[in-house]
Amino acid sequence: MTTSPPLPAPARPRFRHLRWGVGVLGLCAFFLLLRWLVIEGYHVPTASMEPTLRGDPNGDKVFVNKLAFLRSPPRRWQIVVFNYQEPDHDPTIFVKRLLGLPGETIEIRDGDVYVDGSIARKPRDVQEELLFPVYRSNFSRDELTAFWSLESENAAGWDVVDGHLVVRAGTSLRMSARSEVRDRYDFLDGPPSGGDNFDSDLAVRLRVRPLSRDGDVVIALAKGFDRFELMLEMGATSRAGTLRANGKDVTPIGSVPLETGREAAVLFWNVDGELRVEIDGRPLYAAPYVPTRAAQPPVRHNDVGVEVNGAGAEFSSLELSRDVYYTAEGDFVRQRAVRMLPSGDTPSYFFLGDNSPSSKDSRQWGATLVSKSDLIGTPFMIFWPPSRIRLLRGSQ
């Protein structure tokens, strides 16, 4: 007769509790080490990066990748968290957007940043972050006529139906913005700011469904003495349209027709010295914008309009956005516009806030610049409040 080996005696409660305690302490130590070396939460205290990052009283909380600059050097347009000590102040943690790299010459002119004499053009994903809404409609007649001046020879030829702007076939309708677009921030928490400068880096987005095969839709953008028109042919079979500059054809646009009955998403912008056309997310045209004259622009230099010429069309949305307008302050007033950043043994970086009129940044900090040792990392995600949870484009 065989007997089974005796079962091991159960662990004493105090040793079981000890193992649990060691495990919990180890887990806490792991997360503390992770926080110290890799990822840390950061609370955005001010409105200097709005609308990308919201400041107090209900500031965003972001996760910061503290290893970002161990793998690769900082890149222009990244959002960076860093330490900085202003004269006569304690060290403070800031979050700004990186614009200037060591050894570069920085200039702020007409709302844009120039690096070594050339405009600093944003990557596509960063530009999406820095297009601030001026007008956004899912259409009601009151808001439409409040922002746009509408002209038509047939008052019954257009209407707002179930949140859509419907233009009947054979009708010509011209919409033009009633006022200039300025660098005003009145959609942020708190009182409005800015508004002192014309902002003529504009983008128009619309969603349109052709209802007939005749006529066209025209989007017009003006800057300085130049006026550009994107003419979209309704129901076309060979091309989507034509880009015109100052009344003359520049180039045919693509080979994606706007088919009758099918909605298309259209983007037309003149931003950072680049004209761009996209239809349904497909780039059809992108080329540098070169002003025809260098003289002072006229007062109304950023007119924007949408025209429907004989085409039946239904618009489900229409958006007008402006680019961030960086103001020249501190060392960057007009008579002292150019600045060289140190390199070599003491590399320095130049930072700006997205909410330019309300940002304290490298424009005001004078000779005391941000060095590489001051950099903490890059925020990659908003994790609080829940309604704002999202990944930050262009930060990595």
Task: Write down the catalytic residue from 66, 96, 122, 223.
Answer: 96
Distance in angstroms (rounded) separating the CA atoms of residues 21 and 38: 25
Contacts 24+ apart (CB under 8 A), 279-284: 279/240, 279/254, 280/256, 282/254, 282/256, 284/240, 284/253, 284/254, 284/256
Task: Write down the catalytic residue from 48, 137, 348, 362.
Answer: 48
> Which residues make Cβ contacts (< 8 Å) with residue 53, sequence separation at least 6?
44, 60, 62, 79, 95, 354, 379, 382
Scored b (16 or more CB within 10 A) or e, 45-70 reads ebbbbbbbbbbeeebbbbbbbbebbe
Residue 321 known to be catalytic: no
Residue 96 known to be catalytic: yes
**Pairing relation of β-strands 248-253 and 264-271?**
unpaired
Backbone angles phi, psi at 126, to 5 degrees: -70, -40
- The secondary element (H helix, E strand) that includes residue 128 is helix 124-129
Which residues participate in catalysis according to the annotation?
A: 48, 96
